[in-house]
Amino acid sequence: MTSGKLVKLVLDNARRHRREFVLSGFGIVVGVAAFVFFLALSMGVRNKVLEVFPLERVEVIAPTAGLAGADLTKRMDESTVEQIRNQSVADVGAIIPRMTVDFPVALSGYFNGDRMALEFIGDGVDPAYVREDNIGEMFKDWEADTDTPLVDCQLPKFSCEGLYYCERSDMKCHHRVPVVVSRNIIEVYNKNYAKSHGLPVIGEMEQFIVQRGGLSKMRLYFDLGQSVINMNQKKLQSEPRRVEGVLLGISDRAIPLGATIPMGYVERWNREYVGEESATAYSSIIVELENKEDVAPFGKWLIEGPNLRLEDSMGERFASIITIITLIFIVIALVIVTISAINIAHSFFMQVSERRKEIGLLRSIGGTQNNIRMLFVGEAALLGFLAGVVGVGLGIGIAMVGDWAFVNYTADFAFKPKTLFDFQAWIPVSGLGVAVLFGMIGGALPARKAAKMQPAEALTR
Amino acid sequence: MPSQAFETVVSVRDVHKSYGKGQAKTPVLRGVSLEIQKGEIVALIGQSGSGKSTLLNIIGSLDTWESGQVEVMGIDFSKARETELAAMRNEQIGFVFQSFNLLDHLTCIENVVLPASFTSMREKDAREQGMEALRRVGLEELAHRPPGELSGGQKQRVAIARALYNKPKLLLCDEPTGNLDSETGENVIEFFGELNREDGMTLLIVTHEERLSRFAERVVHIKDGVIQSDDASELHDVSKEDSGALAEENAS
């Protein structure tokens, strides 16, 4: 029997048993709809999470340890960077040490006519790393250039040209400290802060800067040695002073929450206010791994080798939670289709009994046992396929309704995606595969019974 | 000499069969032997439960048996594979049933070409051949109607067209006129005669109707699973005598 003829016989029978088909295929429809819905949902959410927290960018930190008041936390410095670069368990791309400002700094600026001040949270990084991210030549340690003589501040207003400010300690014009922030900061500002404080939302950063009147208006003030929170502080080695900065824009390589400046400034400030110790130790080291799969072996090496560890990656944590939830829903979906397969088996057993004469006839005109088996399995597969198509359609439909409700009826929040779902091609395809497979599983035993039937006996009843 | 080898179309030797198991075991065939030559019309007559339908089904490879030998058109059933027997039923044997066994969800022509489902014949050729079979039974104008709209006689003719579809050498009929009125039944019987005369088709007809037995040239009576009488025994003896005489003549 050719497959074309089998398909024709199967289709003829399917047309005849439309009602049974709809009834026994219903479970497959629901199961497959749930299957594709939850898979696409988990893929969509997972992609968004990994976009915000990329898995392959890990942060190496020193575990904090203390004994009888003595700080035994391991120091990370240039030798640690070398160690990481020379290890062989993972292919490593960029290694970016970070240095945190080790003493209180208040950051303030004028925005929309108001002065806003907050505690500076920020890291210094190698400027070359940020410059790779199209931030431009301005992100650098301007103070490192000691060859170009500094211009005196212009009296009587102590003013300087362009992006320079008048440093009162030496009455010279210094370049403002370049600052970049992550997209996350803008997102959090837009979705949470701007809304609650009635401030304008920042759209494209470049446009925003132009609207405000160019970079010279993107002024920030660092009050070194002063705190907004005003806690009891340890004694600093220097008196508070003000340094001016300029917000250059957004960089994907800026720390997620906080401001990022060239490391040279942090080194000098820490040396000035805390001491040499603080000016040479890194707070964390960002390591960009070439493969996501290397995260685990690299983390293991860190513990066994240099006695360091990986900061828990938000991406990894979210991704594993999503995976677990997805698995639960997939199991539920599979339970539904399994029950449906049993239902199909039941319905097909009844059909085999009802169609005894037909089976006998087909055998009498030349049908083999295998032909009969294929006929019933084919019908079950067709049932599964049709139910699968409807199920996939239903799943996509529910997802679309869900997206619409999500976009229109939930509050705007940071990183709110435009869609919760990611229907990659393999999802509907595997949905269909599951439908056909479980249809065939349901049809297998009845088909066997039909094939084993003695034709003479089938014909006489 | 293959043509001579096929002279004997059906050869059944000492076949036993029973239904049920253990205590409830009831024998249906108790040592049945039957030979049918090419071109014969054989009526197998017996009351219900005599084993006549079982014998027909065994000859048609639709049923199993316990002991004895069955050989149809040179194929030894005990040695043949399932696919081989299926191919034989498809190409060389036609079945006609009392209850027609037409599939109501198909049209007449679709019913007739059903045997082509198990071959690699092209759809178009299959249809043509099916129309030819319908023409043969005089129902080509009803080709696209469902069997449900047809009379009993018409249904049986569609079923016969299906049996004739692959131009079989052997037609096995189980009470073919059982569901028909006497006039329609008569027509079917006449048609069987025509098939025998024109196509040299061998027919084995299971029936309990004397009418059919009058038409057959050879009548075999079966009772309680045993063959009671067979016209052919005499015939065969005659032919033996004849050939014997012929041999003597040749020798002399």
Angle at B55 between CA B53 and CA B57, to 5 degrees: 70
Entry field: residues in chain B: 252
Return all residues near A114 (Cβ < 8 A) that are at least 6 apart: none
Residue A114 is encoded by which pair of tokens? 């108001």
pLDDT averaged over every residue in chain A: 82
B230 in a structural domain: yes
Kindly state whether residues A216 and A331 are assigned to the same domain: no
CA distance A362 to chain B (A): 8
The DSSP code sequence of A169-203 is TTTEEEEPEEEEE-HHHHHHIIIIIIHHHTPPPP-
Count of domains for chain A: 2
**Which chain A residues contact residue B60 at CB under 8 A?**
364
Residue B246 has pLDDT above 70, yes or no: no
pLDDT the model gives residue A134: 61
- Return the DSSP state at A282: B
Number of neighbours of residue A153 by Cβ within 10 angstroms: 19
Residue B144 has pLDDT above 90, yes or no: yes
Kindly state whether residues B87 and B176 are assigned to the same domain: yes
pLDDT band at B239; cut points 50, 70, 90: very low
Kindly state whether residues A193 and A306 are assigned to the same domain: yes
**Residue that wins the pLDDT comparison between A213 and B235:** A213
**Nearest-CA residue of chain A relative to B87?**
A366
Kindly state whether residues A302 and A326 are assigned to the same domain: no
Kindly state whether residues A171 and A93 are assigned to the same domain: yes
pLDDT the model gives residue A19: 83
Kindly state whether residues A250 and A388 are assigned to the same domain: no
pLDDT band at A132; cut points 50, 70, 90: low
Chain B residues with at least one Cβ partner in A under 8 Å: 53-54, 57-58, 60, 62-64, 82-83, 86-87, 89-91, 95, 97, 99, 101, 103, 105-106, 110, 114-120, 123, 162
Find out whether A219 and A97 touch, Cβ atoms under 8 Å: no
Q: How many helices (H) and strands (E) does chain B have?
A: 9, 10
Which residue type occupies A169? S
Kindly state whether residues A39 and A63 are assigned to the same domain: no
Across the interface, of A6, A12, A366, the residue whose CB is closest to B90 is: A366
pLDDT band at B242; cut points 50, 70, 90: very low
**Which chain A residues contact residue B120 at CB under 8 A?**
2
d(Cα A369, Cα A49) in Å, to the nearest integer? 54
Return all residues near A213 (Cβ < 8 A) that are at least 6 apart: none
| A315-350 CB burial, b ≥16 within 10 A, e <16 | bbebbeebeeebeebbeebeebbeebbebbbebbbe
Kindly state whether residues B212 and B225 are assigned to the same domain: yes
Kindly state whether residues B111 and B152 are assigned to the same domain: yes
Strand partners, A229: none
Q: Which of A123-137, A320-334, B50-64 has the lowest mean pLDDT?
A: A123-137
In whole angstroms, how large is the CA radius of gyration of chain A? 34
pLDDT the model gives residue B240: 42
- The per-residue pLDDT for range A287-302, each reduced to its tens digit, is 888 777 777 778 788 7
Residue B166 is encoded by which pair of tokens? 């692959």
Query: Beta strands B41-45 and B218-223: pairing type?
Result: parallel
Kindly state whether residues A199 and A136 are assigned to the same domain: yes
Q: Which of B135, B166, B197 is the last residue of a domain?
A: B166
Kindly state whether residues B139 and B179 are assigned to the same domain: no
- Provide the percentage of residues in chain A whose pLDDT is more than 90: 23
pLDDT band at B76; cut points 50, 70, 90: very high
Q: Which of A12, A15, A368 to mutate to test the interface with B (most CBs of B within 10 A)?
A: A368
Kindly state whether residues A428 and A353 are assigned to the same domain: yes
Number of neighbours of residue A393 by Cβ within 10 angstroms: 16
Residue B99 is encoded by which pair of tokens? 């209850």
**Which chain B residues contact residue A364 at CB under 8 A?**
60, 62, 89, 95
d(Cα A350, Cα A346) in Å, to the nearest integer? 6
- Interface contact A368-B118, CB threshold 8 A: yes
Q: What is the mean pLDDT of residues A315-341?
A: 85
Kindly state whether residues A427 and A352 are assigned to the same domain: yes
pLDDT the model gives residue A98: 86
Kindly state whether residues B45 and B147 are assigned to the same domain: no
Kindly state whether residues B173 and B55 are assigned to the same domain: yes
Q: Which of B147, B166, B185 is the last residue of a domain?
A: B166
- Interface contact A365-B90, CB threshold 8 A: yes
Kindly state whether residues A136 and A252 are assigned to the same domain: yes
pLDDT the model gives residue A460: 80
Number of neighbours of residue B106 by Cβ within 10 angstroms: 18
Distance of CA A333 to the CA centre of its chain: 25
Residue B191 is encoded by which pair of tokens? 């048609």
Return all residues near A50 (Cβ < 8 A) that are at least 6 apart: A315, A319
Residue A268 has pLDDT above 90, yes or no: no
Kindly state whether residues B66 and B173 are assigned to the same domain: yes
pLDDT band at B108; cut points 50, 70, 90: very high
Put simply, the chain A residues between 296 and 325 with a CB less than 8 A from any chain B CB are none
pTM attached to this predicted model: 0.71
Find out whether B38 and B7 touch, Cβ atoms under 8 Å: yes
φ and ψ at residue A221, rounded to 5 degrees: -125, 125
Kindly state whether residues A138 and A235 are assigned to the same domain: yes
Return all residues near A304 (Cβ < 8 A) that are at least 6 apart: none
pLDDT the model gives residue B181: 87
Regarding an ipTM greater than 0.90, the answer is: no
Across the interface, of A357, A364, A370, the residue whose CB is closest to B89 is: A364
- Select the highest-mean-pLDDT range: A8-17, A78-87, B140-149: B140-149
Find out whether A374 and A6 touch, Cβ atoms under 8 Å: yes
Return all residues near B185 (Cβ < 8 A) that are at least 6 apart: B177, B209, B211
Find out whether A331 and A66 touch, Cβ atoms under 8 Å: no
Number of neighbours of residue A305 by Cβ within 10 angstroms: 12
Query: Beta strands A151-152 and A172-175: pairing type?
Result: antiparallel
Q: Which of B112, B145, B166 is the last residue of a domain?
A: B166
In Å, how far are A187, A296, B169, B173, B214 from A52, measured between CA atoms? 11, 20, 78, 78, 94
Kindly state whether residues B49 and B147 are assigned to the same domain: no
Strand partners, A99: A124
**Nearest-CA residue of chain B relative to A363?**
B86
Lateral strand order in the sheet of B75-76: B26-37, B8-19, B67-72, B75-76
Number of neighbours of residue B174 by Cβ within 10 angstroms: 23
Q: Which of A64-73, A451-460, B28-37, B88-97 has the lowest mean pLDDT?
A: A64-73
d(Cα A436, Cα A254) in Å, to the nearest integer? 49
Across the interface, of B95, B106, B115, the residue whose CB is closest to A12 is: B106
Q: What is the mean pLDDT of residues B178-205?
A: 90
CA distance B243 to chain A (A): 38
Residue B243 has pLDDT above 60, yes or no: no
Residue B180 has pLDDT above 70, yes or no: yes
Kindly state whether residues B172 and B162 are assigned to the same domain: no
Does residue A256 have a cis bond before it (omega within 30 degrees)? no
pLDDT the model gives residue A280: 81
Across the interface, of B86, B103, B110, the residue whose CB is closest to A366 is: B86
User: For residue B223, what is the domain's CATH number?
Assistant: 3.40.50.300
**Which chain A residues contact residue B99 at CB under 8 A?**
357
φ and ψ at residue A138, rounded to 5 degrees: -70, -20
d(Cα B142, Cα A13) in Å, to the nearest integer? 22
Give the closest residue to A455 by CA, choosing from B105, B95, B159, B20.
B95
pLDDT band at A47; cut points 50, 70, 90: confident
Across the interface, of B62, B64, B87, the residue whose CB is closest to A363 is: B62
Kindly state whether residues A329 and A277 are assigned to the same domain: no
Residue B157 has pLDDT above 80, yes or no: yes
Residue A413 has pLDDT above 90, yes or no: no
User: Where in the sequence is the domain holding B113, given as residue range(s)?
Assistant: 104-166
Kindly state whether residues B155 and B172 are assigned to the same domain: no
**Which chain A residues contact residue B62 at CB under 8 A?**
360, 363-364, 454-456, 459
Give the closest residue to A106 by CA, choosing from A121, A95, A96.
A121
- The per-residue pLDDT for range A1-43, each reduced to its tens digit, is 677 888 888 888 888 888 888 888 898 999 999 999 999 988 8
- Interface contact B103-A369, CB threshold 8 A: no
pLDDT the model gives residue B68: 94
Q: What is the mean pLDDT of residues A229-244?
A: 75
pLDDT the model gives residue B66: 93
Count of domains for chain B: 2
- The per-residue pLDDT for range A246-263, each reduced to its tens digit, is 888 888 778 777 888 888
Q: What is the mean pLDDT of residues B111-132?
A: 91
pLDDT the model gives residue A264: 87
**Which chain A residues contact residue B118 at CB under 8 A?**
1, 5, 365-368, 371
φ and ψ at residue A137, rounded to 5 degrees: -70, -15
B142 in a structural domain: yes
Mind spelling out the 3-state secondary structure of A250-272?
ECCCCCCCCEEEEHHHHHHHHHH
Give the closest residue to A101 by CA, choosing from A312, A310, A271.
A271
Q: Which stretches does DSSP call E strand in A263-339?
A: 284-289, 309-310
Put simply, the chain A residues between 62 and 101 with a CB less than 8 A from any chain B CB are none
Kindly state whether residues B207 and B231 are assigned to the same domain: yes
Q: Which of A385-399, A440-454, B115-129 has the lowest mean pLDDT?
A: B115-129
d(Cα A248, Cα A296) in Å, to the nearest integer? 36
Q: Which of A191-200, A426-435, B25-34 has the lowest mean pLDDT?
A: A191-200
| B56-85 CB burial, b ≥16 within 10 A, e <16 | bbbbbbbbebeebebbbbeeebeebeeeeb
Classify residue A53 by burial, with Cβ atoms within 10 Å: 0-12, 13-18, 19+: middle
pLDDT the model gives residue B3: 46
Q: Which of B81-85, B118-122, B152-156, B199-203 has the lowest mean pLDDT?
A: B118-122
CA distance B249 to chain A (A): 47
Kindly state whether residues B156 and B176 are assigned to the same domain: no
pLDDT averaged over every residue in chain B: 86
Strand partners, B19: B26
pLDDT band at A106; cut points 50, 70, 90: confident
| Interchain contact A19–B (C-beta under 8 A) | no
Which residue type occupies B170? L
| A195-214 CB burial, b ≥16 within 10 A, e <16 | eeeeeeebeebeebbeebee
CA distance B83 to chain A (A): 6
User: Where in the sequence is the domain holding A419, given as residue range(s)?
Assistant: 3-53+318-460
Give the closest residue to A310 by CA, choosing from A55, A60, A53.
A60
Residue A260 is encoded by which pair of tokens? 């990022």
| Interchain contact A354–B (C-beta under 8 A) | no
d(Cα A443, Cα A446) in Å, to the nearest integer? 6
Residue A67 has pLDDT above 50, yes or no: yes
